[in-house]
Amino acid sequence: MCIVNGENIADGAGITPKLAERLLADGADVVTLGNHTYRRDGIGNYLASSTRVIRPANAGALTPGRGLAVVEARNGVKVAVLNVLGSLFLDTPVSPWEIVDELVDEARAQAPVVIVDFHAEATSEKIAMARWLDGRVTAVIGTHTHVQTNDARVQPGGTAAITDAGMTGPHDSVIGVEAELAIRRMRTRLPVRFSPAEGDVRLEGVVIDCSDDGRAHGIELLRVPA
C-alpha cells in the first residue's frame, strides 16, 4: 500500500480537495498532512468527511478531520495510518506525547500494521518518538524537513524508522521554493512571495517491508529522478 504526505501539493503550501482526490485516484491509499493542513479554502469540510485523507491527530479539538485512517493492503491485511505533529519549533496545539499512546492503542485495536507519519522539525524529537514507539508500531516515518536522511533502520523491537523520508518535488531549490526568493527573504527580512521551483524533480520516500503481524523487516530509501 502507498502513503503520501500531501501537505504541500497545492503549489508548495497546503492541499485542495481536488488535489487530494487526484492523489487517491493516482494510487495513494492514504494521504497524510501536517502543519500546512488548513492553508487552502474548502479543505476543512473535505477533511471532516474523508476517511483516507488525514490531518495530525494533535491538531486540536476545534479543527475538522481525523488523525487515523484504516485501510486494507492489496493482500487484505489491515493497515492503520497515524499522522502526528511534533512540538519542537512548531506551533502545535497538543503535545504529541500526550496523545500518542492512546492513539497507537486505538490503531492497534483495528489493524496489525500501524504506520506513523511523524511530522516534525527537530531530528531529536523524531528519533525520540521512533524509540518510544519501538515494538508497538510497524514504522515511524519522519516528514516536514524535506531532506531525506541517511538513517533508515529497523530498531530492536521491530519498528522501522527514518528521520525524514525526503521530498518529492524540485530539488534545485530551497526545500521546494525557488532558491533566489528564499534567500532574498532570509537576507533582507522583507516579505517575499514564495513560488515553487521547477528544476531537478525527484520522487523521494521509503519502502517498508513487513510481515502480516506488523513487524518490520526492512526499510529502503527511494530516490527516483524525473
Binding site for Fe ion (CB under 5 A): 34-35, 144
Catalytic residue IDs: 36
The number of beta carbons lying within 10 Å of the beta carbon of residue 194 is: 15
User: Running DSSP on this structure, what letter comes out for residue 196?
Assistant: B
Amino acid at the residue 103: L
β-bridge pairing 160-162 and 153-154: antiparallel
As beta bridge partners, residue 114 has 80
> What is the nearest approach in angstroms of Fe ion to the Cβ of residue 218?
27
Q: How far is the CB of 69 from Fe ion (least distance, A)?
A: 18
From the CB of 8, what's the least distance to Fe ion, in Å? 7
Q: Which helix (H) or strand (E) holds 225?
A: strand 216-225
Residue 201 CB, nearest approach to Fe ion (Å) = 19
Sheet with 199-210, edge to edge strand ranges: 169-172, 199-210, 216-225
